[in-house]
Amino acid sequence: MRPFDTIGFALISLGSNKVRTALMLLAMSIGVAAVVLLTGIGNGARLYIVDQFSSLGTNLVIVIPGRAETTSNTPATLVGQTPRDLTLEDATALERSDLVNRIAPINIGELSAVWHGKERKVPVIGSTAPLLQVHHLKLEQGSFLPEEDTEIARPVCVLGAKVYRELFGQNAALGELIKLGGFRCRVIGILGSEGRSLGLDTQELVIVPVAFAQMLFDTKGVFRILIEAKDQHSLERLKKHISRTISKRHYGEEDVTIITQDSILTTFNRIFKVLTLSVGGIAAISLVVAGILIMNVMLMSVSQRTAEIGLCKALGANNTQVMVLLVTEALLLSAIGGIIGLLLGFAGSWVIVQFYPTLQTTPPLWAVAAAMGTALCTGFVFSLLPARRAARLDPIQALARH
Amino acid sequence: MIELHDVSRIFTVGGQEVRAMDHVSLDIMPGEYLSIMGPSGSGKSTLLNIIGLLDTPNSGTYLLEGRDVTSLKDEELAAVRSRKIGFIFQFFHLIPRLTAVQNIELPLLLAGVSRKERTSVSTRLIEEFGLRGRHHHRPDELSGGQRQRVAIARAVINQPAVLLADEPTGNLDRTSGAEIIDLMEQLNKNGQTLVVVTHDPEIGERARRCIRVVDGRIASDTRMG
Ligand SMILES: Nc1ncnc2c1ncn2[C@@H]1O[C@H](COP(=O)(O)OP(=O)(O)OP(=O)(O)O)[C@@H](O)[C@H]1O
Ligand SMILES: [Mg+2]
């Protein structure tokens, strides 16, 4: 039998029982649509996260004191010393490189901010002028931290929009003195009301010069150092340069962890890929359910079409041909149902994009292929049993029934 | 052309043996017109099914056009059926959702013949069998006699060596039945080997050779005029 004729014959069979065919198509298409839609949403979430991180600049390197891996067996760890702090001198030393564009040492702590009797606990970040660019912050009023020697503990501060509102209400804040952890400092700027980066709400921040923060927190170290590379291609060289510089300064100890935005991004990427894959997998179960439905309906259809199958055999069809005919019917159901499902899925993700434009739910190509593949596979696998049953029918007995 | 030697077909039902064919030997020449008669349950259909390769004997040999077809595998059996055998049934066995032409062309479709070739043969048969204008009618839109004519057209479309009919008039009124017999006799006159199983002595005796089957044996084999 010619392939084209086989398909035509199968289509006629499917068309002869429209309700049954429609039900099977519905089951198949819902399964495919679910896979497409869920993987689309998972992928959209992944892209959203990636986008959030990328907006921070992918050429950012973060230096943290202490080694993340517990592989070093240095005398320091043997005697149980805590790792050496990163210092402002370290930061200054790192800055002297062609590979570095900007550098911003950071200290973080929580202090109470007081103005005219109003008090509020706020996260305080100590840093330097380049933080504005490194963290893509927006300034609403006044100026950011002054460009001057990082060692100068000038008592000034920049307020997050929310902190400003809560302390000052409608009053002007620029030039005012607030008390920060018991020290007086002057408000020189107010941040814009947008932005959220690295897990901190910039609206709730108070930013002060890093040396002033060291005084406030009573520490000589820095929490971490943010370094913006000149370009993304020199990230690896920059990382080497950092570890060499630090270990030179730390008596041969490489006691820092160097993280790139890239590696964080890669981790998130991987997590969300796995997530997407698992929701897609769960949706694929509905495809298997559709496959079982197809199997049941086909078993029913085979027993209804016994005489016809016997007839085909009497007219010269062999067992393989009978099987191929029935499997073709199932594959057609899967293919048509799958295409309807794809359309439904794409329509659904389009609707989601209309409501949540930030979530780009376009399903990834692999998910589309996998959904179609699974649909065809289940159609194939679950039609084998009915097809075999049909092929084994004794034509004489099949024809005796009418 | 058809040579059965000592063929037996035994069914075992509930531990009991039923000898549907009991050491039957039979030769059929090309172009012959043969009728098989006998009481119900005597084994007429079984004999026809074995000739038509829908059933295989438990013992004995069957040569079709000189080729031993006694123990062929499914695929070979199907191929021989496709090329050498044409079946006509009491209940027509047309596929209800296919049109008359599609039903007629079914054997060629299964055999992988191109659409063009199929159409040219089926168009000729529709003319010949008085089914003009009925091309696209479905079986339930045809009369009993027309249905059986479609079935005969389907049976002869692959130019079989032998045309096997099991009670072809059993489900028809007298006039349509007579028409069907006329049609088959016409085919036989043109050289078609024809075997007809029937209960109706009037029809059976029209054949030039008449076999009576009783209890799975050939009780008589008469040639007429
Ligand atoms: N598949 C089968 N299983 C068991 N017994 C069978 C089977 N097919 C036929 N028989 C038995 O074989 C015998 C011959 O049956 P067959 O159908 O050939 O008779 P028949 O002459 O065609 O009868 P009728 O005129 O009623 O059609 C019967 O006794 C029948 O019960
Ligand atoms: Mg019978």
pLDDT in tens, A177-218: 999 988 999 999 999 876 655 556 788 889 999 999 999 999
pLDDT band at residue B167 using 50, 70 and 90 as cut-offs: very high
* B118 close to A (CB below 8 A): no
**Which pTM does this prediction carry?**
0.72
Give a yes or no: residue B60 inside a domain: no
Q: Which domain holds residue B219?
A: 30-53+77-223
Give a yes or no: residue B132 inside a domain: yes
Asked whether the beta carbons of residue A399 and residue B89 sit closer than 8 angstroms, the reply is: yes
Question: Relative to the alpha carbon of B18, which ligand is closest?
Answer: 1
> For chain B, how many residues are written?
225
User: pLDDT tens digit string along A80-133?
Assistant: 455 678 888 888 888 888 888 889 999 999 999 999 988 999 999 999 999 888
Residues of A in contact with B114 (CB under 8 A): 2
Give a yes or no: residue B115 inside a domain: yes
Query: CATH code at B89?
Result: 3.40.50.300
Instruction: Give the closest residue (by CA) to ligand 1 atom 18.
Output: B43
Domain ranges for chain A, please list them: 3-52+266-399, 84-254
Give a yes or no: residue B62 inside a domain: no
* B43 close to A (CB below 8 A): no
Give the mutation candidate from B88, B109, B150 for the A interface (greatest A CB count, under 10 A).
B109
Give a yes or no: residue B58 inside a domain: no
* B99 close to A (CB below 8 A): no
Give the helix/strand (H/E) hosting A375.
helix A365-391
Give a yes or no: residue B61 inside a domain: no
A306 close to A389: Cβ distance less than 8 angstroms: no
How many structural domains does chain B have?
1
Provide the b/e sequence for A54-82 (b: ≥16 CB within 10 Å): eebbbbbbbbebebeeeeeeeebbeeeee
* pLDDT of amino acid A196: 56
Give a yes or no: residue B189 inside a domain: yes
Give a yes or no: residue B8 inside a domain: no
The alpha-helical segments, DSSP class H, found in chain B are 44-51, 74-84, 100-110, 115-128, 144-156, 174-189, 201-204
Closest approach of B224 to chain A, Cα-based (Å): 31
User: pLDDT tens digit string along B59-114?
Assistant: 999 999 999 999 899 999 999 999 999 999 999 999 999 999 999 999 999 999 99
Q: What is the mean pLDDT of chain A?
A: 86
User: pLDDT tens digit string along A218-242?
Assistant: 988 889 898 988 887 788 888 888 8
* pLDDT of amino acid A92: 87
Instruction: Give the closest residue (by CA) to ligand 1 atom 5.
Output: B11
Is the ipTM of this structure higher than 0.90? yes
